[in-house]
Amino acid sequence: MTPLMEARSVSLGTRLRRTDVLLGPGELVALIGPNGSGKTSLLRALAGVERADGKIMVDGQSLTSVGPARRPYILTFVPASRDLAWPISVRDVIGLGLPRSDPRRVDELIDVLELGPLATRRADRLSTGERARVLLARALAPKPKLLLLDEPLSNLDPYWVLRLLEILREQTSSQTSALVALHDIDRITEFDRAILMDAGEVRADLPPREMLSSDALADAFRIDRDASGWRLRRPADPRSSP
Amino acid sequence: MKGWIFLLAAMLLTAALAHLLIPVGPIFELHRASPETASLLLSQIRLPRTLLALGYGGVLGMTGAALQAMFGNPLASPDITGSSSGAALGAVFGSYWLGMTGPLALAFSGALGALAALGLVVGLAGRRSDASVLLLAGVAVSLLAGAATSLLLALAPSPFAFYDSFDWLMGSFVDRSLPQAAVALVPAAASCALLAARARPLDLLALGEEVTASLGYDPRRLAIHVIVLTSIAVGACVSVCGAIGFVGLIAPYVARRITRGHPGQALLPAAIIGGILLLLADLAVRLGPPGRIVPVGIVTTVLGAPLFIWIVVTMQRRVTS
């Protein structure tokens, strides 16, 4: 299978060390790791926000060779920040995702993300969760081949967590691939694959169920699973040792 | 949007014709007596003034819109960010201290002054700073440049420097020649065309610098382009006509009512609105009290300052509500 995205030896100083990531066409991949493990740095490097060392190919072409007119059709990125710098409407924010005006596509996304009642309201005055949906709609608008999403599920209510995962699944089944940074590790079961990062490196790249039971995950997060769920890992007590 | 542009362009043309021809009486009388003198009056005296008012207004509108988009701040404009006072300082230094006499050399020193001032404001406040930080940095740099300009004039080798430059420093289009207009407007038009080509990335900045970068535009390079192009356009105009306040603030503010808030798409309408505003302001000066010439910069400041205060008050309300 030819990968849709191939990142080799991608480095960003000490934040990201010679990282390799491959994504197949239509794959939905979760990116997990403790705070400061390099998830955001990896997404920023892949999105071209920061110029990283190494090779990044998307859809058979180097990202640096793709100009702004074609870039939104190749990849879009939604950062963790939900801030908007200008008072523009929800509809206009979604429209900004398209290099050429396409009101029908904007209407489609307003329907999919159930933004109808908010469409003419100022996006900067919406709640953080509502803005998250608007910004995702903006990223989906050009039907990119690759979606890079940083914590898209944070600040969402339970309905929207499930609905957003459903929307991502629908999108990825139509040849879009997505790499999604998450902090809720139990959600990775909804993904095709999970990549675990720690200290700026990829520590494991496994199917979700295997990832959840892996030592790599337990070590990286310093947690263990027992019958009742996740537990903090305590340093071994010398008095209880035989 | 296209309809609005046509309407605004028609208004601009009307304002330019009115500015060129009003008052119409003296031209008719002169034409009856001596047609050549009448055409000289139109082409050598009135036309440069009309072109400068139109062009400088356009520069203020467009650079104001570009700076507002770049800083993500509706209060940014060439005067608020210190570019105009920096350009005045540059031109005064070139003219009274370096003995520059050629308009092109003065335009160059004006552009350098604007660049230094705007660069200092960006260095102090950052590209995407809080509105109040940008305002404070802009005020500080403007005051510094204003004081330095006064000092240079007070200590200038020519004892008449202050008196000579008053009319120019306050902003005026009176008695400028066609070559002077060309020196201001040719570099300004080229800079504005290059700024207008950056409307899309300036719009995308509304989504933040990270998203703009991910869509293939380097926000840092974009900011450098905006700063340099603004400095060239404003520096060239200030070196010929002096500093004119508030048009660069009002025009983009009005233009965004047409572009539904889009800061980048507002560039062209802001330029046209700026041209209309400055033509009308200068027409008001010409039709003002006979025998007295009020510098046009004073008219724009008197009209623009209340709007500035209103924007600050509404921003304050938004923050506290």
A51 vs A21, A55, A56, A97, B215, CA distance in Å? 16, 11, 11, 22, 13
CB contact under 8 A, A79 and B208: yes
Q: Stretch B65-86: mean pLDDT, rounded?
A: 89
Distance separating alpha carbons of residues B248 and B254, to the nearest angstrom: 11
Q: How confident is the model at residue B157 (pLDDT cuts 50, 70, 90)?
A: confident
pLDDT of B44 over the 50 cut: yes
**Nearest residue of A to residue B128 by CA position?**
A85
Which SS3 state, helix, strand or coil, does residue B295 take?
coil
- pLDDT-derived band of residue A236, with 50, 70 and 90 as boundaries? low
Query: Is there a contact between B207 and A93 if contact means CB atoms under 8 Å apart?
Result: yes
Tell me the pLDDT tens digit for each residue of A44-84.
999 999 988 999 999 889 888 888 989 999 999 999 988 88
Question: What's the pLDDT tens digit per position in A182-220?
Answer: 989 999 999 999 999 999 999 999 999 999 989 999 899
Judge whether residue B222 has pLDDT over 50.
yes
Contact yes or no for B50/B178 (Cβ under 8 A): no
Provide the token pair at A180.
């999604």
pLDDT at B52: 94
CB contact under 8 A, B204 and A96: yes
Q: Which of B207, B216, B217 sits opposite A96 (nearest CB)?
A: B207
- pLDDT for A86 equals 84
The residue of chain A nearest to residue B217, with distances taken between CA atoms, is A68
Which structural domain, as residue segments, surrounds residue A67? 5-240
Residue A172 has pLDDT above 80, yes or no: no
Tell me the pTM: 0.88
Q: Which residues of chain A does B204 touch, with a Cβ-Cβ cutoff of 8 Å?
A: 96
Q: Which of residues 38-57 of A touch B (CB under 8 A)?
A: 44, 47-50
Query: What is residue A141's DSSP assignment?
Result: T
Nearest CA in chain B to A66: B216
Number of domains in chain A: 1
- Show residues of chain B in contact with A67, CB under 8 Å: 216
Whole-Å CA distances, B124 to B63, B129, B134, B136: 20, 10, 8, 9
Per residue in A43-82, is it b (16+ CB within 10 Å) or e — as a string? bbbbbbbbebeeebebbeeebeebeeeebbebbbbbbbeb
Q: Any bridge partners for residue A23, and if so which?
A: A5
Report whether pLDDT(B290) > 80: no
What is the sign, positive or negative, of the torsion defined by CA atoms of B259, B265, B270, B271? Answer: negative
Q: Which of B70, B73, B207 to mutate to probe the A interface, most A CBs <10 Å?
A: B207
CATH number of domain containing A185: 3.40.50.300
Say whether pLDDT at B98 is over 90: no
Q: How far is B33 from chain A (nearest CA, A)?
A: 58
Cβ neighbours of B233 (radius 10 Å):
33
State the ipTM, two decimals: 0.90
| Whether the predicted pLDDT of A38 surpasses 50 | yes
| B72 contacts on A by Cβ (under 8 Å) | 85-86
Tokens 């908007």, residue located: A84
> Which amino acid, B83?
S
Confidence of residue A1 (pLDDT cuts 50, 70, 90): low
Q: Which of A192-206, B92-106, B147-161 has the highest mean pLDDT?
A: A192-206
Assigned token pair, A163: 């609905």
Residue B264 CB neighbours (<10 A): 24
- Tokens linked to B138: 């802009």
> Angle A88-A92-A98 (CA atoms, 0-180°, nearest 5)?
135
Identify the residue with better confidence: A238 or A104.
Answer: A104
| Cβ atoms B62, B188 nearer than 8 A | no
pLDDT at residue A238 in the model: 57
Is the pLDDT assigned to residue A241 strictly greater than 50? no
Contact A68 B214 (CB under 8 A): no
Q: What is the pLDDT of residue B321?
A: 44
Residue type, A54: G
- Using one digit for the tens of pLDDT, what is the confidence trace for B300-320? 888 888 888 887 787 766 555
**Mean pLDDT calculated for residue range B110-114:** 91
pLDDT per residue as tens digits for the range A116-168? 899 999 998 899 999 999 999 999 999 999 999 999 998 899 999 999 999 99
Which tokens hold the place of B81?
Answer: 């960010």
Rounded-to-5 percentages of helix, strand, coil across chain A: 35, 25, 35
User: Could you tell me which of B81, B230, B237 has the C-alpha nearest to residue B172?
Assistant: B237
Per-residue confidence band for B202, with pLDDT thresholds at 50, 70 and 90: very high
Q: Which domains does chain B have, with CATH numbers?
A: 2-6+48-320 (1.10.3470.10)
pLDDT at B66 over 90: yes
Q: What is the mean pLDDT of chain A?
A: 89
**Lowest-confidence pick of B36-45, B117-126, B205-214, B275-284:** B36-45
Residue B286: pLDDT band (50, 70, 90) is confident
| Out of A66, A79, A89, closest to residue B211 by CB | A79
User: In 3-state terms, what secondary structure has residue A185?
Assistant: helix
Residue B32 pLDDT greater than 60, yes or no: yes
